[in-house]
A and B are shown apart, each in its own frame.
Chain A
Amino acid sequence: MSEKIKLPDGFRSWEADVKIGKKEDKVTIGHWAEGCKGCAICVDVCPKKVWKLIEAKNKWNGQLVIVDKPDACIKCMLCEIHCPDFCIKIF
């Protein structure tokens, strides 16, 4: 993670080199597992299948998302914008 990017406490991060169109870029995907209710909206809205739904023990519905393919990310921000639980940050 580059020095400029500061994720809030409790966020796990995935970093990857990505290609957006023809442009090379870096992405940092932050996810807050403790606040994630596993609604899977991020999985649904992501055009590149970056997110994956897994089973997990939590107080919500026994589901959680994790980052499956960070290098596929095109930084469209759809997952961050549509996460209802403030659990996703894309840098």
Chain B
Amino acid sequence: MAFDYEKYLRMDKIPHLWCPGCGIGVVLKAMLRAMENVNWERNDTAFVSGIGCTSRAPGYIDCNTLHTTHGRGLTFATGIKMAQPDKNLVIFSGDGDATAIGGNHFIHACRRNIDMTLIVVNNNIYGMTGGQHSPTTPIGFKASTTIYGNVDPSFDICLLARAAGATYVARSTVNKGRTLEQYIQRGFENKGFSVIEAVSNCHTQFGRKNNMSDPISSRKWIEDREIPLAKARDMKAEDLKNMVITGEFITEKSDLERWENYNRAEKEYTEAYSDIIKKVKKK
């Protein structure tokens, strides 16, 4: 049955500003379905973003919405969550917004394990500013600031989030709307900091410079590089170069117990802080 997106949207703002075929719309829809799945009230939910194409997403959602400064969405959201710990917080961010200018906030939000969900739409480029290369532009690809091919290595957003301490980390692509919905829902359900990376197409800025200037070929490029996590585990590093490894990066309890996670938060941040309040609050 058709989904009632209108229930969650500010319909007077639709059609949105994204280019025809832009993947951000697909991610936004997956997020709205996930929100319905967990029965979040619109009044109790805030959407926060930084700057960039993806960061325009909150403006279309009929909730408490905050469009902040470049890369800083997580910091505003942290303040909101600390002020109102029982409310739902979702942050929309692009690859540049989350991992370049907002990189410090990104790793520390993961470390802090504060109960919020960050959705990173990774389209490998700075779209809004005109196609400059981002921390996720693959080696060899062209951008308006890598005219002769990119030599700047990429971040793996999910591995970064996992290493920094996020307690739910998953990646899917805009070709898999249902999977995205499922991962985002699990992010919402996780009591702690969740990162969902949605690999997306920017045919306008990234595609045009790299021989895939329409949404179909850009989406196909993503699809062709997708390798499920389970399969990737048995593959050699050189075969995984520039590939998109998809799946849930923290699913098993054994993962959490591994030595690399010895410092992982035992409690969600606002819960841990409310314990302090209980302990010291004036009678």
Listed in ascending order, the chain A residues whose CB lies under 8 Å from chain B are 8, 30, 34-35, 37-41, 44, 60-61, 63, 78, 80-86, 89-91
Q: Assess whether A81 is in contact with B29, with CB atoms less than 8 Å apart.
A: yes
Nearest-neighbor residue (CB-CB) of B5 within chain A: A86
Q: Assess whether A38 is in contact with B20, with CB atoms less than 8 Å apart.
A: yes
Chain A CB within 8 A of B51 CB: no
Find chain B residues with CB under 8 A from A84 CB.
18, 21-26, 29
B1-48 residues at the A interface, CB under 8 angstroms = 1-3, 5-6, 9, 11, 14-16, 18-26, 29-30
Cα distance A74–B91 when bound, in Å? 35
Q: How far is the CB of A9 from chain B (nearest CB, A)?
A: 9
Q: How would residues 118 to 144 of chain B score, 1 for a CB under 8 Å from any chain A CB and 0 otherwise?
A: 000000000000000000000000000
Chain A CB within 8 A of B216 CB: yes
Partner of A40, one of B24, B174, B216: B216
Q: Assess whether A80 is in contact with B2, with CB atoms less than 8 Å apart.
A: yes
Q: Assess whether B29 is in contact with A86, with CB atoms less than 8 Å apart.
A: yes
Q: Assess whether A81 is in contact with B14, with CB atoms less than 8 Å apart.
A: no
| Contact residues on B (Cβ < 8 Å of other chain), bracket | 20 to 34
Listed in ascending order, the chain B residues whose CB lies under 8 Å from chain A are 1-3, 5-6, 9, 11, 14-16, 18-26, 29-30, 174-175, 177-178, 214-216, 219
Q: Assess whether B15 is in contact with A35, with CB atoms less than 8 Å apart.
A: yes
Find chain B residues with CB under 8 A from A80 CB.
2-3
Q: Assess whether A81 is in contact with B15, with CB atoms less than 8 Å apart.
A: no
Find chain B residues with CB under 8 A from A37 CB.
15, 19-21
Q: How far is the CB of A80 from chain B (nearest CB, A)?
A: 6
Cα distance A89–B4 when bound, in Å? 9
Nearest-neighbor residue (CB-CB) of B18 within chain A: A84
Q: Assess whether A44 is in contact with B20, with CB atoms less than 8 Å apart.
A: no
Cα distance A43–B279 when bound, in Å? 60
Find chain A residues with CB under 8 A from B19 CB.
37
Q: Assess whether B216 is in contact with A44, with CB atoms less than 8 Å apart.
A: yes
Nearest-neighbor residue (CB-CB) of B16 within chain A: A85
Task: Jot down 18 A-B pairs with beta carbons below 8 A, ordered by A.
Answer: A8-B11, A35-B15, A37-B19, A38-B20, A40-B21, A44-B216, A60-B20, A80-B2, A80-B3, A82-B26, A82-B175, A83-B26, A84-B29, A85-B14, A85-B15, A86-B25, A86-B29, A89-B2
Q: Assess whether A91 is in contact with B2, with CB atoms less than 8 Å apart.
A: yes
Considering the complex of A and B, which 7 residue pairs feature the smallest CB-CB distances, nearest first? A84-B25, A39-B21, A37-B20, A81-B177, A89-B2, A39-B20, A35-B15
Cα distance A43–B240 when bound, in Å? 31
Find chain A residues with CB under 8 A from B9 CB.
86
Nearest-neighbor residue (CB-CB) of A28 within chain B: B2
Q: How far is the CB of B90 from chain A (nearest CB, A)?
A: 18
Nearest-neighbor residue (CB-CB) of B19 within chain A: A37
Cα distance A90–B215 when bound, in Å? 22
Interface centre among A35, A82, A83 (most CB of B within 10 A): A82
Q: How far is the CB of A47 from chain B (nearest CB, A)?
A: 14
Cα distance A91–B2 when bound, in Å? 5
Given A35-B14, A86-B14, residue A44 in contact with residue B219 (CB < 8 A): yes
